[in-house]
């Protein structure tokens, strides 16, 4: 019985040490989308983009880090996926994936740049994996939701 337990423990240690993390680094290739011919002033585009960020950044992990209305710049740190969980024996797993969202507005134009920060996941693990393909899809959805918000919003005072 002791030999079986020892064999099982050794197998678990060996198999878990064989798992290698897949590191995803997209910092050198951000997702960039430019929307032109919007027929809207820079001030109104800034207000709409700021409103979009406030609505989109709906948790304590996502924050607007820089806002300059005069230059038409909005920047924030956005939680794209993941969280912190506690496993067996008090081990902590952090699977958060953040990105920097940079929005620039000028008369009739908006540019959104989304740059995920480096993250890793274990391919052979049963834990949820956030892949590069999922990140690309999420970035496309974010840019699309910004465009939809700007296209359908009105600035009324």
Q: Could you read off the pLDDT of 96-113 as tens digits, one per residue?
A: 889 999 999 998 999 999
Q: Is 21 helix (H, G, I), strand (E, B) or coil?
A: strand
Q: Give the global pTM.
A: 0.79
Mean pLDDT of 15-26: 66
**HEC secondary structure over 74-124:** EEEEEEEECCEEECHHHCEEECCEEEEEEEEEECCEEEEEEEECCEEEECC
Q: What percent of the chain has pLDDT over 70?
A: 76
pLDDT(1) > 80: no
Quick one: pLDDT at residue 83?
74
Q: Which residue has the higher pLDDT, 80 or 122?
A: 80
Beta-ladder partners of 109? 106
Quick one: pLDDT at residue 125?
64
Q: Which CATH number fits domain 20-152: 3.30.530.80, 3.40.50.720, 3.10.20.30, 3.40.50.300?
A: 3.30.530.80
Q: Could you read off the pLDDT of 121-153 as tens digits, one per residue?
A: 767 666 668 888 999 999 999 999 999 999 987
Quick one: pLDDT at residue 92?
66
């Amino acid at each position: 019985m002791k030999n079986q337990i020892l064999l099982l423990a050794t197998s678990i240690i060996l198999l878990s040490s064989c798992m290698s993390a897949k590191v995803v680094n997209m910092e050198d290739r951000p997702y960039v989308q430019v929307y032109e011919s919007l027929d809207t002033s820079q001030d109104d585009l800034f207000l709409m983009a700021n409103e979009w960020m406030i609505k989109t950044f709906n948790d304590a992990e996502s924050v607007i880090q820089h806002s300059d209305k005069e230059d038409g710049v909005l920047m924030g740190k956005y939680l794209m996926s993941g969280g912190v969980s506690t496993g067996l024996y008090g081990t902590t797993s952090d699977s958060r994936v953040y990105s920097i969202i940079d929005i620039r507005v000028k008369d009739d134009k908006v540019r959104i740049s989304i740059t995920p920060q480096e993250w890793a996941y274990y391919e052979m693990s049963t834990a949820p994996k956030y892949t590069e393909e999922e990140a690309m899809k999420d970035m496309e959805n974010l840019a699309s939701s910004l465009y939809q918000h700007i296209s359908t919003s009105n600035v009324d005072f």
